[in-house]
Chains A and B, each alone.
Chain A
Amino acid sequence: MANQEAGENPIKSEGDIVTCRKLIRNAAVAAGFGMTDVTRIVTAVSELARNVYVHSGSDGVMRWEILHQPGQIGIHLEFEDYGKGIPDVDQAMEVGFTTAGTMGMGLSGVKRLMDDINIKSEVGVGTTITVEKWGRAK
């Protein structure tokens, strides 16, 4: 488990949201991310894993990888589901937009917390969201 630099975890139940958070917290801490970045990354994981569980209507998976660049460490995360898809991605990214009566702060918030976000979605096929965060290597 220690120093593992890549992996994946299914998102099938509510409990998997916590499992994903714990996994990524351990990986980000081990990689050397600072406390605030770890919290940003884990919070983004929580939002995106919950979106798969709540909105997609299908199972999904989280994949992650620690990245290295001279003087920098990064983390790449991918959330893939095979569910209903997002008809209008720009609208879904708007602050407050929700189809579930919740806060509608997830996607717009994740965009602010991470350095990069990419959303690919097709109605009836599924959604893949990738995010990246970089920090100074210790």
Chain B
Amino acid sequence: MDGENSLSVIKLKNILLVTVPDDPGDDIIHELQTKVLHAIEKYQSKGLILDISSVNILDSFFARTISETTQMVALMGGKTVIAGMQPSVAITATELGLHLGKAISTLDVDRALDIFTDNFKLV
């Protein structure tokens, strides 16, 4: 049932692709924020795709980190797209009353990339 339990950060041209494991502990969620901000600074990335397609639990702590990270990325001049939220996670997050800040959501990473190429013209 458990997937690879670590964060993956990949630089793709101008943007950063970050993949979150299925059941991220608080340590991984903290790491998400610091790793993303460092990588954006290092590579001068213009955007972030947060791939949460494996994630099967999103509570208020994780949601807060996502929304904060999105805000910080925006302050650094970047855009965030959240890709692949599972339907059951989306339903639960809505019922819990969570919102993920101003980030755009897409069905999957391919569509997130399309947004960066077609809408933002960043890739």
User: Could you tell me which A residues sit within 8 Å of B by CB distance?
Assistant: 14-15, 17-18, 21-22, 25-26, 35-36, 38-40, 42-43, 46-47, 50, 95, 102-103, 105-106, 108-109, 112-113
Assess whether B92 is in contact with A113, with CB atoms less than 8 Å apart: yes
Contact residues in A for B119 (Cβ distance below 8 Å): none
Residue of A nearest to B63 (CB): A103
On whether A108 and B97 interact (CB within 8 A), knowing A18-B25, A36-B88, A39-B88, the answer reads yes
Contact residues in A for B57 (Cβ distance below 8 Å): 21, 39, 42-43, 46
Assess whether A105 is in contact with B60, with CB atoms less than 8 Å apart: yes
How distant is the Cα of A47 from the Cα of B26 in the complex, in angstroms?
12
Q: Could you name 5 residue pairs across A and B whose Cβ atoms are closer than 8 Å?
A: A39-B86, A40-B92, A46-B59, A50-B61, A109-B97
Assess whether B92 is in contact with A39, with CB atoms less than 8 Å apart: yes
CB distance from B5 to the nearest CB of A (A): 9
Q: Is B27 an interface residue (CB 8 A)?
A: yes
CB distance from B71 to the nearest CB of A (A): 14
On whether A17 and B25 interact (CB within 8 A), knowing A40-B92, A105-B60, the answer reads yes
Assess whether A102 is in contact with B89, with CB atoms less than 8 Å apart: no
CB distance from A12 to the nearest CB of B (A): 14
User: Could you tell me which B residues sit within 8 Å of A by CB distance?
Assistant: 1-2, 23, 25-27, 56-61, 63-64, 86-89, 91-92, 95-98
Assess whether A18 is in contact with B88, with CB atoms less than 8 Å apart: no
Contact residues in B for A22 (Cβ distance below 8 Å): 2, 23
Residue of A nearest to B57 (CB): A42
CB distance from B28 to the nearest CB of A (A): 9
SS of A interface (majority): helix
How distant is the Cα of A35 from the Cα of B91 in the complex, in angstroms?
11
Partner of B56, one of A26, A39, A47: A39
Contact residues in B for A47 (Cβ distance below 8 Å): 59-60, 96
Known: A38-B88, A105-B60, A106-B59. 8 other contacts (CB 8 A): A14-B25, A25-B56, A36-B91, A39-B91, A102-B61, A103-B63, A112-B96, A113-B96
Assess whether A112 is in contact with B97, with CB atoms less than 8 Å apart: yes
How distant is the Cα of A26 from the Cα of B1 in the complex, in angstroms?
9
Partner of A43, one of B2, B26, B58: B58
Residue of B nearest to A40 (CB): B92
Assess whether A40 is in contact with B95, with CB atoms less than 8 Å apart: yes
Assess whether B1 is in contact with A105, with CB atoms less than 8 Å apart: no
